[in-house]
Amino acid sequence: MASQAPRLEPGALRGRNLRYCLLTLLHDAGCPLSIGELLDALRVRGLRVAGRDPRKTVGDVLRYESSLGRVRRVGWGRYEATPRPPTTVRRHRGRLEALVREAARRGGPRGGPTR
C-alpha cells in the first residue's frame, strides 16, 4: 500500500494530525508538559486545535494516547512521552513539520487566546 501525504486540514488540527503533533512536542521536550504548554507550543508554530474547548480536546487526545501507552500522565494535566521507535518519531516529526509549513503558507493563527 502506498504511503499517503498528510491530510492538511485548513484552520485547525484534529484527529491523527493533532495526535502526531502532540506526541512529537512531548517527545522533543524531553520532560513533562502541561496542556497549556502544549497549546502554546502549537500556537507558536502557527497551529491551533479544532473544537470549542481546545484544552478539553487536547486532554481527551492525551487520555486516549495514555490508554495506548504512548504517553504517561505524571500529574494533573501534565504528560510525558514514552519511548517510541526512531522511525515513528521521524514520521510524526515530518507530519508536524508539514503542518507548520502549510500553516505558514496559509498565514496560520497569529496569536490570540488558545484556551
Supply the DSSP string of 76-101, one letter for each residue: TTEEEEPP--HHHHHHHHHHHHHHHH
pLDDT digits (tens, 9 = 90+) for 66-106: 999 999 999 998 999 999 999 999 999 999 999 899 888 87
Decide if pLDDT at 112 tops 50: no
The boundaries of the domain holding residue 56 are 15-106
pTM of full prediction above 0.85:
no
Is 111 inside a domain boundary? Answer: no
- 23 in a structural domain: yes
Residues 18-49 have pLDDT tens digits of 999 999 999 999 999 999 999 999 999 999 99
Q: Is 24 part of a structural domain of the chain?
A: yes
- The answer to whether position 32 is within a domain reads yes
Side-chain-side CA neighbours of residue 114 (13 Å) = 23
Closest CA to 14 of 55, 45, 48: 48
Separation CA 19–CA 112 (nearest Å): 22
Read off the pLDDT of each residue in 52-74 and give the average, rounded to a whole number.
Answer: 95
Q: Is residue 48 in some structural domain?
A: yes
| Residue 19 within any structural domain of the chain | yes
Q: How far apart (Å, rounded) are the C-alpha atoms in residues 58 and 25?
A: 12
Give the model's pLDDT for residue 51: 86
Count the domains in the chain: 1
Residue 92 lies in a domain: yes
75 is a domain residue: yes
CATH number at residue 74: 1.10.10.10
